[in-house]
Structure 1
Amino acid sequence: MAQPKYSHIERERRWRVEPSQAPAVGDRPYTIIEDRYLDDTRFRVRKMTCGQTGQVSLKLSKKYDAGLATARPLVTAYLDETEYARFCGLPGVDMIKRRYKIEHDGREWSLDVFENPAVGFLILEIEAEEGLLERLLPPSWAAREVTDLVSYQCGSLARQPDPAE
């Protein structure tokens, strides 16, 4: 697939984490992420709220399907409140999660704790440049890599919180 116009490549890997194995996140800074995955599309409407300042960011994004799960084209448009409300009015499924930043081996990782729908695990992810991404080792408490499993993409988890393996 040729890279779609105006997109950039998001390079990331993801791991399933069992809640009992994850580090305590109670007092760490977080971002509340409210997503609506629009039916029959690859579009996502997102509201990100900083837990400490209350600052809000509104976006419409499309993450393209690509042959390589670790490098997918992504295009994003920032929205005002009216535009956000209009897109949220379209049919879709919702997901709410808290994203915590975790330091490991001198890099910042993201730990997603799902609030709605209730998912019985957490997702750890890391973004990095090509070449480095493949060499990064997750913390020992990350159970297993799920980067290549479509059922662990958040749009899939919003529809089916208990992924088939």
Structure 2
Amino acid sequence: MELPKYALFEHERRFLVDPARCPPLDGAAMVRIEDLYIVATRLRLRRVTGAGAAPVYKLCRKYLSDDPVSAPITNLYLTAEEFAQLDVLPGNRISKCRYRIDGFGLDVFEGRHAGLIIAEIEAPTQAAVLAQMMPGWAMREVTGDPAYSGAELARTA
């Protein structure tokens, strides 16, 4: 796939976590993520708060790809005022807390998806992310399963 102008490849894998075997989250670094998937687009508006840092606001576009592990992505970082202007657009919302454990981001979902935990790992290259082993506390890989994409989870939230 040709890389769209201003985009970078994101190389990531995702795993469904068994809540009974999830590593302890107490004391792990954590941020809260609130996403708005804007209707009829491939755009995601995101607010990240926590970890003692100022909030981060960004607008993301994830491009379609035949490869579930590697896909082009573009991010535009926003001011709080710009975020507020876009946050009124129609869309589907979802929120989660992301913990950092052993190089993985563990997304603990809130609301309708409470109890769902997805581990995500990224790497700078496709080969590096494919070399990552599924953690022992994961049940199965869901990288290519559209039911576990953020956009689909938000739509069904």
Identify whether the pair has TM-score above 0.5, normalized to the shorter chain.
yes
1:152 aligned onto 2:118: no
Equivalent residue for 2:104, pick from 94, 106, 109: 109
Supply the distance in 2 between the matched residues of 1:33 and 1:120 (Cα, whole angstroms).
Answer: 16
- Identify unmatched segments of 5+ residues in structure 2: none
- Say which SS state the counterpart of residue 58 (structure 1) adopts: strand
TM-score for both structures, normalised by structure 2: 0.94
Supply the distance in 1 between the matched residues of 2:53 and 2:3 (Cα, whole angstroms).
Answer: 35
> What letter matches 1:64 in structure 2?
Y
Q: Offset at 1:42?
A: 0.8
Q: Offset at 1:54?
A: 4.2
Partner residue, 2:74: 75
CA deviation profile, 1:123-150 (whole Å, cap 9, x unmatched): 0011012212112102111100000011
> What letter matches 2:59 in structure 1?
L
Correspondence 1:66-145 to 2 at 5 A: 66-103=65-102, 108-128=103-123, 129-145=125-141
- Say which SS state the counterpart of residue 20 (structure 1) adopts: helix
> What letter matches 1:101 in structure 2?
R
Partner residue, 1:65: 64
- Identify unmatched segments of 5+ residues in structure 1: none
Q: Offset at 1:117?
A: 3.5
8 Å contact kept, 1:43–1:60: yes
Note the aligned Cα RMSD (angstroms).
Answer: 1.3
8 Å contact kept, 1:95–1:117: no
> What letter matches 2:32 in structure 1?
I
Q: Offset at 1:29?
A: 1.5
> What letter matches 2:145 in structure 1?
L
